[in-house]
């Protein structure tokens, strides 16, 4: 923390100022306490002099001694009020950030309403209930600070709650408190610390203001605010009295403000360096019918986004079965519902998104019936997730070794040494040079390709039955993409795990899976075996367009890059979104004809091949026979 202060120009003055204030609070009452209380009516209201540097008050007490002595009570009250506000407010905000449904909405609204109250008004109301003195203003200011802290924690918590690494931690089945401390608080600690420091100054000003208004500390106790009240009364007689108290309040507030600013500056400088280092180059079945023994078994799966202006089904009646050892690809343009389908299978849907299904089970166990107690361990053993952006999926605040081992230590009850040994083996299997160094590294110290290999090793730590890889290579360059997919293929083949591979790129996926599910605007458009695709090509115009839009190395560079005309329809706006309007692809389909304005069914064309298109059943306008009839 001290080195962080050194990175800002305000750092050293703030540090020295805080040290001086602490010394003053500790030694002030010891050195000057007695003199501060000694009354001498014969020397009342004297101006500053060598005997009395700030003069004397109406009872002849030395004002310099009183100001110095009051520092302890003033600072302690500010710290205590800030501690109350921070403890209650941050706790409330974190609960709100991680709660779901009505509780989250209720807490969010309550925090906003409380925030709209002026702090000082809130403090005055509380003080009339608690009473004046030393405790009253502390509680009052503490309570008045709660809404601000709660809003801060809610905003910071919500920004972290949706991160991939928090989802990964959930999938590892880590306990709620551990996720909170290691994955949430560690990643918002810097802005929180900054805010807590700055707020000590705010608390000092508030407590002093209450005393100044006569609502705070009462005689015989005295703090800077109470001294200011009397000093103002005798301002024309002895201005040093009021000015010294006011100056100390202002300087202390400024010092804590500078400290907060210096910490924030240090943190942003450090993050900047992290980012720079991170970018430096480094070495480095679908079908409704249940399949017996399917590891993933989703039938009629619908995922609804409730938190949109108009709730909508982002995934519509999707059925997906994955057999043991089978690899299934999910392909489609952006917003087609691929990630939400995968998140529903892994029981990782974020708050505000609901799921309903005729069947949704992992290894024969319906997810809806999972008991809360064993849920973490069950998911840890059955399913692992590899995300698109490994930087977002790894906790930036923990070393790789810790992240790799903690799930296994918790669920497998193996020793740390054993877990670390296993992690090193898996890092080596993921072809990472020097696994020991990688174990000791933080995510930002590795290249993108290395981080994705770490994610694969992490997924394998639980020996899961199903690996879900959500666009695992999109963020990587082409050479690294191929190497990472090869690592994934080899690791899977060695264990006979199942794979759900999500991608925009049909050509890439086709080389690594047995079956491909093509999605568009939340619906399955085609399901096709990889060998059928290689032999016959796709049947659905959308799949065909996806295939044609893949950029090839032998592409004529003078020709424009291939793409599907129009923009991808999203689930809420696509035709058919409200159950009417027809095929979702109708607006962009080159083969659209009259029947496409009603929703087509998923038609079985052959073994391992079905497609949702009227072209397969009805004569086309150009007279070509329907595809189903051609097979």
Ligand X SMILES: Nc1ncnc2c1ncn2[C@@H]1O[C@H](COP(=O)(O)OP(=O)(O)OP(=O)(O)O)[C@@H](O)[C@H]1O
Looking at the Cβ atoms of 57 and 313, the one nearer to ligand X is 313
Looking at the Cβ atoms of 295 and 353, the one nearer to ligand X is 353
Closest alpha carbon to 311 in 319, 302, 298: 302
Using alpha carbons only, give the angle 535, 541, 545 rounded to the nearest 5 degrees: 85
Does residue number 338 form part of the binding site for ligand X (CB under 6 A)?
A: yes
Which three-class secondary structure string do you get for 243-292? HHHHHHHHHHHHHHHHHHHHHHHHHHHHHHHHHHHHHCCCCCCCCCCCCC
Looking at the Cβ atoms of 335 and 462, the one nearer to ligand X is 335
Window of 105-113, 152-160, 197-205, 305-313 that interacts with ligand X by CB under 6 A: 305-313
Window of 24-32, 62-70, 333-341, 595-603 that interacts with ligand X by CB under 6 A: 333-341
Window of 35-43, 232-240, 330-338, 407-415 that interacts with ligand X by CB under 6 A: 330-338
Pairwise CA distance, residues 292 & 305, whole Å:
31
Cα–Cα separations (whole angstroms), residue 59 to 55, 240, 243, 361, 482: 11, 16, 19, 82, 86
Does residue number 350 form part of the binding site for ligand X (CB under 6 A)?
A: yes
Pairwise CA distance, residues 26 & 217, whole Å:
20
Identified binder of ligand X from the candidate list 335, 481, 497, 543, rule CB under 6 A? 335
Does residue number 340 form part of the binding site for ligand X (CB under 6 A)?
A: yes
Pairwise CA distance, residues 204 & 21, whole Å:
13
Window of 115-123, 301-309, 424-432, 552-560 that interacts with ligand X by CB under 6 A: 301-309
User: Site size for ligand X, by CB under 6 A?
Assistant: 16
443: which 2 tokens? 């995510």
Pairwise CA distance, residues 149 & 41, whole Å:
47
Contact map string, positions 547 to 586, toward ligand X, x by CB under 6 A = -----------------------xx---------------
Does residue number 314 form part of the binding site for ligand X (CB under 6 A)?
A: yes
Question: What is the secondary structure of 551-595 as a DSSP string?
Answer: --TT--TTSPPP--SS-PPPTTTSTTTTS-SS-TTGGG-TT--GG
Window of 327-335, 423-431, 557-565, 608-616 that interacts with ligand X by CB under 6 A: 327-335
Closest alpha carbon to 119 in 224, 199, 229: 199
Window of 138-146, 300-308, 367-375, 592-600 that interacts with ligand X by CB under 6 A: 300-308
- Helices 63-98 and 224-233 cross at an angle (nearest 10°) of 130
**Block residue for tokens 């991160």:** 163
Identified binder of ligand X from the candidate list 69, 336, 473, 481, rule CB under 6 A? 336
Looking at the Cβ atoms of 66 and 104, the one nearer to ligand X is 104
Does residue number 304 form part of the binding site for ligand X (CB under 6 A)?
A: no
Helix (H) or strand (E) holding 99: none
Does residue number 86 form part of the binding site for ligand X (CB under 6 A)?
A: no
Pairwise CA distance, residues 44 & 546, whole Å:
92
Does residue number 305 form part of the binding site for ligand X (CB under 6 A)?
A: yes
Looking at the Cβ atoms of 141 and 571, the one nearer to ligand X is 571
Does residue number 505 form part of the binding site for ligand X (CB under 6 A)?
A: no
Looking at the Cβ atoms of 69 and 339, the one nearer to ligand X is 339
Looking at the Cβ atoms of 421 and 567, the one nearer to ligand X is 567
Does residue number 329 form part of the binding site for ligand X (CB under 6 A)?
A: no
The least distance separating ligand X from the CB of residue 478, rounded to whole angstroms, comes to 19
């Amino acid at each position: 923390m001290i080195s962080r202060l050194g990175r800002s120009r305000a750092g050293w003055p703030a540090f020295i100022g805080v040290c001086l204030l602490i010394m003053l609070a500790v030694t002030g009452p010891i050195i000057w306490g007695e003199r501060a209380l000694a009354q001498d009516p014969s020397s009342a209201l004297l101006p500053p002099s060598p005997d009395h540097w700030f003069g004397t008050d109406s009872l002849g007490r030395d004002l310099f001694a009183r100001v110095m002595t009051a520092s302890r009570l003033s600072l302690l009250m500010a710290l205590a009020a800030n501690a109350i506000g921070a403890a209650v407010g941050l706790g409330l905000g974190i609960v709100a950030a991680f709660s779901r449904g009505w509780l989250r909405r209720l807490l969010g609204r309550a925090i906003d309403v409380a925030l709209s109250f002026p702090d000082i008004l809130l403090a005055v109301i509380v003080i009339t209930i608690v009473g004046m003195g030393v405790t009253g203003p502390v509680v009052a200011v503490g309570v008045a600070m709660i809404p601000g802290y709660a809003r801060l924690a809610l905003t910071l918590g919500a920004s972290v709650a949706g991160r991939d690494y928090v989802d990964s931690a959930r999938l590892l089945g880590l306990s709620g408190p551990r996720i909170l401390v290691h994955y949430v608080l560690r990643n918002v600690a810097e802005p929180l610390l900054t805010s807590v420091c700055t707020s000590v100054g705010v608390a000092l000003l508030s407590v002093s203001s209450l005393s100044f208004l006569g609502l705070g500390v009462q005689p015989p106790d005295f703090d800077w605010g109470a001294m200011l009240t009397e000093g103002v009364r005798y301002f024309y007689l002895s201005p040093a009295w009021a000015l010294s108290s006011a100056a100390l309040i202002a300087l202390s507030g400024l010092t804590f403000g500078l400290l907060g600013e210096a910490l924030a500056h240090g943190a942003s400088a450090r993050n900047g360096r992290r980012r720079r280092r991170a970018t430096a180059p480094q070495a480095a079945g679908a079908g409704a019918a249940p399949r017996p023994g399917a590891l993933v078994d989703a039938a009629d799966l619908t995922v609804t986004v409730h938190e949109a202006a108009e709730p909508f089904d982002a995934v519509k009646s999707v059925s997906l079965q994955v057999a043991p050892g089978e690899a299934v690809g999910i392909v489609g343009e952006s917003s087609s519902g691929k990630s939400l389908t995968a998140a529903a299978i892994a029981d990782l849907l974020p708050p505000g998104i609901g799921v309903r299904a005729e069947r949704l089970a992992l290894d024969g166990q319906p997810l809806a019936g999972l008991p809360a107690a064993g849920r973490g361990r069950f998911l840890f053993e059955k399913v692992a997730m590899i995300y698109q952006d490994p930087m977002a999926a790894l906790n930036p605040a923990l070393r790789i070794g810790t992240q790799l081992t903690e799930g296994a230590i918790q669920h497998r009850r193996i020793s740390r040494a054993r877990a670390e040994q296993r992690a090193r083996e898996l890092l080596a299997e993921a072809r990472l040079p020097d696994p020991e160094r990688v174990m000791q590294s933080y995510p930002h110290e590795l290249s993108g390709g290395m981080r994705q290999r770490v994610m694969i090793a992490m997924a394998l730590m639980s020996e899961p039955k199903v690996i879900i890889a959500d666009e695992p290579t999109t963020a990587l360059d082409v050479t690294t993409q191929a190497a990472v997919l090869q690592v994934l293929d080899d690791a899977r083949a060695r264990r006979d795990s199942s794979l759900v591979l999500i991608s925009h790129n049909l050509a890439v996926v086709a080389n690594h899976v047995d079956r491909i599910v093509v999605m568009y605007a939340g619906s399955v458009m085609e399901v096709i075996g990889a060998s059928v695709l290689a032999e016959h090509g796709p049947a659905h115009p959308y799949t065909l367009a996806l295939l044609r839009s893949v950029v090839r190395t032998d592409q004529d560079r003078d020709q424009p890059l291939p793409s599907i005309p129009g923009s991808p329809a999203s689930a809420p706006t696509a035709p058919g979104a409200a159950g009417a309007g027809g095929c979702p692809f109708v607006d962009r389909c080159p083969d659209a004809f009259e029947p496409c304005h009603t929703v087509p069914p998923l038609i079985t064309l052959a073994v391992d091949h079905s497609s949702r298109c009227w072209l397969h059943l009805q004569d086309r306008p150009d007279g070509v026979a329907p595809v189903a009839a051609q097979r």
